[in-house]
């Protein structure tokens, strides 16, 4: 290529000031990308089972019920999940097992995998910060725009983590709260002559919550040949609730020792009711302490305004008259 033509083409780029916000942001992004490429661990080779599952999923035949679903579920949602998984592969794979365990504790919301979760984190980190920088950051000073962009990026990165922890906490609280009533119903069913599996199914028919769904899954695993103790331990691994772990441990030990299940269920139901009452009493004692902050910052200021508001003008006039009487000069 002619050097004169090349210089003409590169003239706008070479004369672009290096302190321009666009050039500076591009350089920062390239630096972050190179640092990540230097420290990111190498990708692990897929196992044989994963390759077989991937091969089987390729030849997926569209059936009539799937074609009757909405356009969002058939097209938009798979495309969005593919984007999330692509972005998730760009994140360093260091806490995959911990993230997978947290997603299991949360009940696999939306069928998310660790790659989907990492992709969601990266998407929440890039998109709001980029929209802010392109929309408002270019109109502000460079350092202020970069500071706000970094803060928005950090907030977007932390939001999925807060959401996942909140889902885990909510699901574990739901299971722990429903456990005493479920044990009472299982006790009644077993004492009435039902088998333990039938009693768990009866609980699932009576209520619909996270605990009943786990019990129905345990029964389904037992019907396909999984031993009862193993199925119960898997339920504990999927929930992470201490009360449920204690109940399963006592139930497994009693079955190994030959203790009747009805006695174990009756004793565990009474203990769970006692723990629920103690937890309610503990929360009731904590209510007075938790009410201090709303009282100080929200209720007391409003009460002071209502009670002292009408007296403020009178008090101001009185102080003004006292000042005028002391100095001998009227107030301006």
- C-alpha to C-alpha distance for 172 and 239, rounded to whole angstroms: 7
User: CATH number of 173-287: 1.10.510, 1.20.81, 2.60.40, 1.10.530?
Assistant: 1.20.81
- The tokens describing 213, both together, are 């769904």
pLDDT (average), residues 65-91: 64
Residue 50 pLDDT > 70, yes or no? no
* pLDDT score of 40: 54
Residue 185 pLDDT > 60, yes or no? yes
Beta strand segments in 142-199, E:
none
* pLDDT score of 308: 77
Between 87 and 316, name the one with better pLDDT: 316
- C-alpha to C-alpha distance for 233 and 139, rounded to whole angstroms: 58
* pLDDT score of 170: 93
pLDDT (average), residues 263-283: 87
Q: What share of the chain is helix, strand, coil (3-state, %, to 5)?
A: 80, 0, 20
First to last CA, the chain: 85
Q: What is the pTM of this model?
A: 0.63
Q: Which H or E run contains 138?
A: none
Q: At a CB cut-off of 8 Å and minimum separation 6, what does 10 contact?
A: none
- C-alpha to C-alpha distance for 38 and 35, rounded to whole angstroms: 5
Residue 62 pLDDT > 80, yes or no? no
Residue 214 pLDDT > 70, yes or no? yes
Between 159 and 30, name the one with better pLDDT: 159
């Amino acid at each position: 290529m002619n050097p004169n033509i090349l210089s003409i083409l590169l003239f706008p780029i070479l004369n672009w000031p290096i302190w321009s916000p666009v050039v500076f942001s591009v350089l920062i992004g390239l630096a972050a990308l190179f640092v990540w490429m230097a420290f990111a661990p190498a990708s692990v080779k897929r196992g044989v089972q994963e390759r077989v599952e991937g091969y089987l999923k390729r030849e997926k035949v569209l059936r009539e019920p799937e074609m009757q679903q909405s356009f969002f579920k058939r097209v938009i949602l798979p495309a969005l999940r593919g984007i999330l998984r692509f972005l998730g592969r760009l994140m360093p794979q260091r806490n995959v097992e911990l993230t997978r365990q947290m997603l299991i504790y949360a009940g696999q919301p939306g069928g998310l995998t660790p790659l989907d979760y990492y992709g969601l984190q990266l998407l929440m980190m890039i998109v709001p910060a980029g929209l802010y920088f392109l929309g408002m950051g270019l109109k502000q000073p460079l350092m202020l725009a970069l500071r706000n962009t970094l803060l928005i990026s950090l907030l977007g990165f932390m939001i999925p983590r807060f959401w996942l922890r909140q889902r885990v906490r909510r699901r574990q609280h739901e299971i722990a709260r429903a456990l005493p009533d479920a044990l009472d119903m299982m006790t009644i069913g077993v004492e009435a002559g039902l088998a333990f599996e039938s009693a768990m199914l009866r609980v699932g028919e009576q209520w619909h919550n996270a605990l009943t769904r786990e019990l129905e899954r345990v029964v389904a695993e037992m019907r396909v040949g999984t031993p009862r103790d193993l199925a119960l331990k898997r339920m504990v691994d999927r929930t992470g609730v201490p009360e449920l772990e204690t109940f399963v441990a006592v139930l497994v030990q009693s079955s190994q020792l030959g203790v009747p299940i009805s006695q174990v269920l009756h004793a565990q139901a009474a203990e769970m009711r006692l723990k629920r009452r103690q937890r309610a009493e503990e929360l009731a004692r904590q209510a007075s302490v938790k009410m201090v902050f709303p009282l100080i910052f929200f209720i007391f200021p409003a009460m002071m305004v209502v009670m002292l508001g009408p007296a403020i003008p009178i008090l101001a006039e009185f102080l003004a008259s006292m000042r005028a009487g002391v100095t001998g000069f009227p107030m301006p």
